[in-house]
Structure 1
Amino acid sequence: MNEGALPKEDSDFSLPGRIDESDAAYFGVEIESKSKGKSLAIFGIAFVLISAGVFAYYFLNQSEIDSQILDNTTFKTLEEKMAKHYGVGQFGSEHAHAALAVFVNGDQVDFSHPQFQIQSKYIHFENNNPYLIHKHATNVPLDMLFASFGLKITENCIESNYQSGTNQHCVDKNNSMIFLVNGKSIPNINIYEIRHNDRILISFGDSELISEQIEYLEGLEIHDIPKINKLVPGNNISI
């Protein structure tokens, strides 16, 4: 071995400047790794806190959320929505009969057809009768009867959806719309709640036909309300 020669090493760290460069490279990687690890830790904690907040909000407001779900119109029938809107009483809380005659251009709507029979449990026609309304609860307006079989009535128009397509008839210079309850005019027939023995006329068309239509309506028979046999508690036996 030459005494003037420098000893050889496996690495070149002993060369001038190499130690500093090597240390910088090594510690730079370590610092970068620690920085990334810290960022991931912060992100993880933030995610957990946000998730916890969302779940905490849900559980604290679960009743309100569930109520909103139940109130969603897609989960309810038309009758259920209308019953809630009008505050309809429990089925059987009231019983009333009334005669209804609807005329369009002089032709009477025949409610004896199947599409009109018992379409709502609260208010309906039954036993193939073409005019006699049965109401079985409190706070049930005529709007619920009309909606149950696709009849829409406004102050100026009458629209039917129970036939093929939509048929609409609206007031013009030749045709009028008249609502009569027991011979008296009312402005909004939809919100009217029938009382026993009411006689209701809805007429669209020539107003000169009204007197004839009223005479027909007055001649209709309104059945009495079946009575409950009180001798048999708990059984709704009509007598």
Structure 2
Amino acid sequence: MGRRAREERQEKREDKAAKISKNKRKTNLMATGILAVIAVIVGYSVFVFMTQVDTSGALGAPDGAGRLGDEHEHASLLVRIFGDKLDFASPAYQIKSSWIHFEDSDGTTIHRHSSGVTLGDLFDSMGFTVNDECFAFPDGREFCTNEDYSLKYYINHKSVGNIYDYVLEDDARILISFGPETPEEIEVQLIELDSQMIKG
């Protein structure tokens, strides 16, 4: 009787070990299957994100903007109001839009990260109003052309009527000047603009 009981116990142990081994294999196969499904989902999501072209529904995307990252251009900006330089290095003006912005506490180099993004989009993102007559700060201060003072825009030393729809090109130089400046004083501001380093 002792021998038979030992054999039965041995068979039960072997059956139990076989069941445990079978359950482990089943669990491992299920885990592998789940991980494979997760990998496929993540891979597909990355593919869709990387090939996405339409940014019209993207949060904060300006109208007409291309895919974020499809271009990376840099330009220099100088704004003088009655001779005083506006400093965009302040945190209040840094990276307000992923598409076009100032960054790294640099207030002179504009970074454009998408095609179709304009200077108007830059100023809109910071709360400024810019048009052919006025340059207005987010706090409501306005500097508008009148009998005594004028708002002037220059792109690469050429006078332009408005910069709102301008899509900056790499190494462009943009001057915004408001006040009673003479052509000679504007030339001094343009020389200052040319001396600003474009960081990219």
> Could you say which TM-score interval applies, normalised by the shorter chain?
0.5 to 0.7
* Partners of 1:147 and 1:158 in 2: CA distance: 12
Match for residue 29 of structure 2? none
* Partners of 1:170 and 1:188 in 2: CA distance: 13
Match for residue 160 of structure 1? 137
Over aligned residue pairs, what C-alpha RMSD do you find? 1.8
2:150 to 150, 163, 176: 176
- Aligned residue for 1:214, secondary structure, equals helix
* Partners of 1:129 and 1:183 in 2: CA distance: 22
1:92 to 49, 60, 69: 69
Mapped contact 1:106–1:206 kept (Cα < 8 A): no
- 1:38-93 Cα offsets, whole Å, 9 max, x none, are xxxxxxxxxxxxxxxxxxxxxxxxxxxxxxxxx9xxx996x33xx2x3x2111110
Q: CA deviation at 1:207?
A: 2.1
Match for residue 62 of structure 1? none
Is structure 2 residue 194 aligned with structure 1 residue 218? yes
Mapped contact 2:127–2:137 kept (Cα < 8 A): yes
Return the structure number with greater relative CO, CA threshold 8 A, min gap 6: 2
- Aligned residue for 2:122, secondary structure, equals helix
Letter in 2 for 1:195: E
Unpaired runs of at least 5, structure 2: 1-55
Mapped contact 2:153–2:175 kept (Cα < 8 A): yes
- Aligned residue for 1:207, secondary structure, equals coil
Match for residue 5 of structure 1? none
Letter in 2 for 1:215: I
Match for residue 120 of structure 2? 143
Letter in 1 for 2:150: S
* Partners of 1:88 and 1:153 in 2: CA distance: 19
- Aligned residue for 1:119, secondary structure, equals coil
1:44-83 to 2 correspondences below 5 Å: 79-80=60-61, 83=62
Is structure 2 residue 175 aligned with structure 1 residue 198? no
Match for residue 10 of structure 2? none
Mapped contact 2:143–2:151 kept (Cα < 8 A): no
Q: Percent identity?
A: 35
TM-score (norm 1): 0.57
Distance 1:183 1:123, change over 3 A: same
